[in-house]
Structure 1
Amino acid sequence: MATIDPDYDRFVETHEPHFLRAQARGFALIREIECHLERAGSYAGRYCGHTDRETGDFVITGECDEVFMAEWNRASDLAHRAARSNAYRIIRAQGRGDEAARLIHEARALIARQN
């Protein structure tokens, strides 16, 4: 039987006993989104390849679009999770406008439209 972690599927209020843990997990979730976005950014517009062992030359095997999209999709998935947890309230309180905050705000708007 799977249990649902209450820190990620709803907002945990300040009077609840595990509020501080929910806040800590919110900050960690935001940081994880930022890490995936940084990795996605490092692959944007780049080419993937390998070094040829015989010649020492770099052999381009194609663009890094798949790696970029995998990192971007992971960040988007985490943003949907963050939009339903205390991470959303954290970025609102901080008044952030960076890419991670934008993803979370967009996910929150999508959730609001669905309900």
Structure 2
Amino acid sequence: MLTIEPDYDRFVETHEPHYFHAQARGFALIRDIERYLDEADSYAGRYTGYIDPMTEDLVITGECEEEYEAAMNNAREVACMVARSNGYRILLAQRRSDDAAMLVYQAHGDLDPPA
């Protein structure tokens, strides 16, 4: 038996057979964006370093800029996927205006979030 993989990179309408799978994927992708944003927030303003055993002072060796940018890039990539799928309509229906929603709206090309 041939199984057809539904096309999730488009808006799946309510009458289509894979609608509920597309909705579930939209919610999952939104959770992924939130997770990546939380990860990026955890790196914001953080430094790497060690305690010098002789002076017992903190020696800063660098910042966590690369980790922060990697997490933000992951969030932006997932936001692009959500902007092309049912996840976008989920955010619109929820009238969200948090950071995750704003990334998706920007990826979709909306300059102003929905009122």
* TM-score interval, smaller chain: 0.7 to 0.9
- Structure 1 unaligned regions, length at least 5: 111-115
Tell me how far apart the structure 1 counterparts of residues 68 and 6 of structure 2 sit (CA, whole Å).
Answer: 29
Tell me how far apart the structure 2 counterparts of residues 89 and 104 of structure 1 sit (CA, whole Å).
Answer: 10
Is the counterpart of residue 13 in structure 1 residue 13 in structure 2? yes
Structure 2 equivalent of residue 63 of structure 1: 63
Counting aligned pairs with the same residue, the percent is 56
Structure 1 equivalent of residue 39 of structure 2: 39
Q: TM-score, normalised by structure 2?
A: 0.82
- Structure 2 unaligned regions, length at least 5: 111-115
More helix by share: 1
User: Per-residue displacement from partner, 1:81-108 (whole Å, max 9, x unpaired)?
Assistant: 1000000000000000000000000000
Runs of 4+ with >6 A deviation: 54-58
Q: TM-score, normalised by structure 1?
A: 0.82
CA contact (8 A) 2:6 2:18 kept: no
